[in-house]
Amino acid sequence: MAGNRTFTMIKPDAVKAGHIGAILAKINEAGFRIVAMKLTKLSEEKAGAFYDVHRERPFFGELVEFMSSGPIVAAILEKDNAVEDFRTLIGATNPADAAEGTIRALYAKSVGENAVHGSDSDENAMIESNFHFSEVERF
């Protein structure tokens, strides 16, 4: 059975461009409930640990540099079928391939600076949520 929570980050490009409010509005309109949320900044070490699965990829250094370049919004979101429905809402990783009206089509600049992160499985949603939030920060 599909889980009902996913994890997201509004990335430094979208925060810098002033899109936090617009992106949160899309998230609310799509029926997600915010379980936990914080404005924070990742160190290079924390960004590297979060994206550890990509450590051997050629873009890893660029990804860590970008994700630690400015503040992000981290959040846990709740809805039936959360992981899949949120990935539909944000669109393809590369904004050039993202469907019209999706968050990445509207706000992402490139495959590297792509406005938002969304967990790709229920298991990763739990791991990523635990990375950023303790139990008492969830409501």
Catalytically active residues are 117
Closer residue to ligand CMP (CB): 1 or 38? 38
Residues contacting 25, CB < 8 A, separation 6+? none
- 59 is a site residue for ligand CMP (CB under 6 A): yes
Using the rule CB under 6 A, which residue among 24, 30, 34, 111 binds ligand CMP? Answer: 111
Euclidean distance between CA atoms 90 and 86, whole angstroms: 6
> Contact region for ligand CMP (CB under 6 A) — 29-37, 75-83, 107-115, 129-137?
107-115
User: Interface with ligand CMP includes 117 (CB under 6 A)?
Assistant: yes
Considering the complex, what minimum distance in angstroms separates the CB of residue 78 from ligand CMP?
20
121: left (phi over 0), alpha (psi -120 to 50) or beta: beta
Q: Which of 4, 69, 93, 124 binds ligand CMP (CB under 6 A)?
A: 93
Contact region for ligand CMP (CB under 6 A) — 21-29, 34-42, 55-63, 128-136?
55-63
Options 22-30, 54-62, 70-78, 128-136: segment touching ligand CMP (CB under 6 A): 54-62
Rule CB under 6 A: is residue 80 a binding residue for ligand CMP? Answer: no
105 near ligand CMP, rule: CB under 6 A:
no
Q: How far apart are the first and last CA of the chain?
A: 23
Burial of 120 (C-beta count, 10 Å sphere; 0-12/13-18/19+): middle
User: DSSP assignment, residue 96?
Assistant: G
Compute the distance between CA of residue 113 and CA of residue 129 in angstroms, rounded to an integer. Answer: 21
